[in-house]
Amino acid sequence: GASALALRPASVSLVTSRNAAPFHAAQSYRRAALVLWHWAALRRAAMRLLWRCALVHSVALHSGGVNALHPSGVKIFYDPRHATHSNAKGHPETPRRVDDCRRALEKTDATWQYLKQARTDAEESVRRVHSNQHISRVKKASKFYRFGRTRLAVDTYAKRGSHQTMLRAQSLWLDAVDHASIQNELAVALSRPPGHHASRHVADGFCLYNFAAGAAAYALDVLGKDWVALLDFDVHHGNGVAAYADEEARVMYASAHQAPLWPNTGDDPSDQGLLGNRLNACVKRGADAVEFCGAWDRCLKFVADRVSGSNGLLVVSAGFDALLEDPLAQCRLRPQDYVRIGRATKDAAETLGVPVVLGLEGGYSTKVGDAFAHSIRPWLGDDADLVEVEAAPKLARRVEVCESNQLPEPGALRCVSTKHGPLTIATTSDGAAYALQKRLPPYGLATRFYGDFDGQVRTIKDRGSGTKFYVDSGDVRGPWCPAILPKRCAAGVPLHIRHRRDSSLAVR
C-alpha cells in the first residue's frame, strides 16, 4: 500500500508536466482530481489499518479469555449444489430440509466451509462400502442425457447429475473426518439426501450411497484409526450401516430408533449382529425425550464399554425425525431436547478422548433446522441453561375439527383444513366419520390422493405399499406392505385415529 502511495502521484505529475495544458480550467480540474485521489488513498490505508487491528484483537480474544466459553467450536461443511438432486414432487426428502438447516445454523457461532468441488478420492471412498454394480447403476441413471428420474427403490430416485451430487455429499463427510482428526472441533457434514439405509448393493429409503459407512471406512483404511463407532439418533434404524457393521469388525453400530417402524429391521433389542458389534436401542411409538435420550445413553455406553485406546472416531448419523412434527414417525421430541443428546455425545467423546463427526441423515418436518442448531450448542459452550429433559405431557386434548355439513359423503374421503392443519376425514357407508392423519405410513404418501377408501370394510389402502388400515382402529388388515418387500414387512403401525363426538368431529 505504502509503495503504491509513493509511486502513483509521481507518475501522475509526470503526465501533467509533459502535457502542458493550454487552459487554466483544465489545470485546476486535474489538480482537484489529484487531491481527491490522495484523499481516497489515505482513507483506504486507514481502513486497512483499522481492520488489521480488529483482526488481531479478535484472534487474541478467541485464543485467550473467551476460550472458557468456547471449549472447542464447530465447523460446518456444506455444498450449496445439493439441490441438483431432487425427488419427485410431494416427496418428503426435499432440498428445503437442508436450506432450513443452513438458515438455522448460520445464526450460531459455527464456522463454515463451502465445498468447491468433489474430492478426487470421494468415489474410491464410496467404492469401499458399495459394489461396482450398484455404483454403475447410479452412474447410469445420472448420465447427462437422462431426462426425468430413475427409480432405484420404491421411494428412492436418481436423476441427471445425482452421482456427482452424491460424491460431493460424501466429500463433505470426508472433509469433516479430516478436520475433526486434526482440530479439536466438532465437524459437521450438512449433506442430503440421507445415507444410512443404503447398503452394499441397494439404494433404499431415499439413500443412494451410505456416507456414514464411507466416512468410517476412510477413517480406518486411510487415516489408520483403530476403531470407529457409528452412532445413529435418526428415528429409523439405519439398516445400511448395520449391514456394513456386520462385515467390518473394527466398527460398532449403535442406533436409537423407533420400533416397529420402517424399515422394520433392528427391532430386537437382544440382537447384536453377526459380529456382536451392534446395539438396537429401540423406543416405542409415541416415545418422548426421556425415553429417547435414555436409548441414546445406552448407545453411548455400549460404545464406551467396548472400545480401547484413543485412536478412534465417533461418526454420528444425526437424523431429526424423532421430532413430534415429523410426518414419517411417531416420537415426540421437541427441538430443545436435542441439546441433551449433543451434551451426552460430547461428554462421551471427551471421556474416550476421540473426535466427533456429525452428519445429517433424516428429518422431514419444518423444525429440523431448529433441532440441528440445538444439537451443536454444547460444542459452542452455549448449553449452560441445559436442564434434564422432562416427560412430555400426555396427549389428552380434545379439539373441534369440523362441522357436520363439512363431512364427506358416505364411503368418501375429504381433506378438511382446520386450525390445527389439514386432516383427512373418512365417512364409512353407515355414516360414521373418522379423522385421519394426512399422510399414510410407511412412506408418508398423502392420505387424500394415495389412499383408496373402502366405506364398507372401513379400510384405507395405501397405493404405494398396498397395505390396508382400518380407519376406526388403525390396525392393519391383511399383510403389511405386501407390494414392496413381504419378508421385511412384519409389524403394523397404526394410523392416528380421531374420534367422533356429537354432531361435530373431535380429535384426541
Contact residues for Zn ion (CB under 5 A)? Answer: 234, 236, 319, 321, 362
- d(CA 378, CA 72) in angstroms, rounded, equals 9
Nearer to Zn ion among residue 335 and residue 355 (C-beta): 335
CA nearest neighbour of 203 among 160, 263, 247, 146: 263
Round to the nearest angstrom and report the end-to-end CA distance of the chain.
72
Nearer to Zn ion among residue 75 and residue 236 (C-beta): 236
Nearer to Zn ion among residue 287 and residue 380 (C-beta): 287
Burial tier of 410 (Cβ tally within 10 Å: 0-12, 13-18, 19+): middle
Nearer to Zn ion among residue 227 and residue 244 (C-beta): 244
Beta carbon of residue 236, minimum distance to Zn ion (angstroms, whole number)? 4
Nearer to Zn ion among residue 236 and residue 374 (C-beta): 236
Beta carbon of residue 85, minimum distance to Zn ion (angstroms, whole number)? 17
Beta carbon of residue 234, minimum distance to Zn ion (angstroms, whole number)? 4
Burial tier of 231 (Cβ tally within 10 Å: 0-12, 13-18, 19+): buried
CA nearest neighbour of 165 among 86, 241, 75, 238: 86
- d(CA 377, CA 379) in angstroms, rounded, equals 5
Beta carbon of residue 127, minimum distance to Zn ion (angstroms, whole number)? 25
CA nearest neighbour of 101 among 80, 119, 71, 70: 80
Nearer to Zn ion among residue 196 and residue 334 (C-beta): 196
CA nearest neighbour of 464 among 155, 208, 157: 155
Nearer to Zn ion among residue 178 and residue 326 (C-beta): 326
Q: In angstroms, how far apart are the furthest CA atoms of the chain? A: 105
Beta carbon of residue 349, minimum distance to Zn ion (angstroms, whole number)? 23
**Residue 36, all three cell numbers:** 481527491
CB atoms within 10 A of CB 308: 9
Beta carbon of residue 205, minimum distance to Zn ion (angstroms, whole number)? 7
Nearer to Zn ion among residue 178 and residue 234 (C-beta): 234
Element containing residue 11 per DSSP (H, E): helix 2-18
**Residue 67, all three cell numbers:** 476460550
Nearer to Zn ion among residue 335 and residue 362 (C-beta): 362
Distance of CA 34 to the CA centre of its chain: 57
16 three-class SS: helix
- d(CA 477, CA 458) in angstroms, rounded, equals 10
Q: What is the DSSP letter of 72?
A: S
Beta carbon of residue 240, minimum distance to Zn ion (angstroms, whole number)? 12
CA nearest neighbour of 427 among 507, 508, 327, 505: 505
**Strand-pair partners of 358:** 188, 316
The count of residues in the chain is 508
Nearer to Zn ion among residue 123 and residue 321 (C-beta): 321
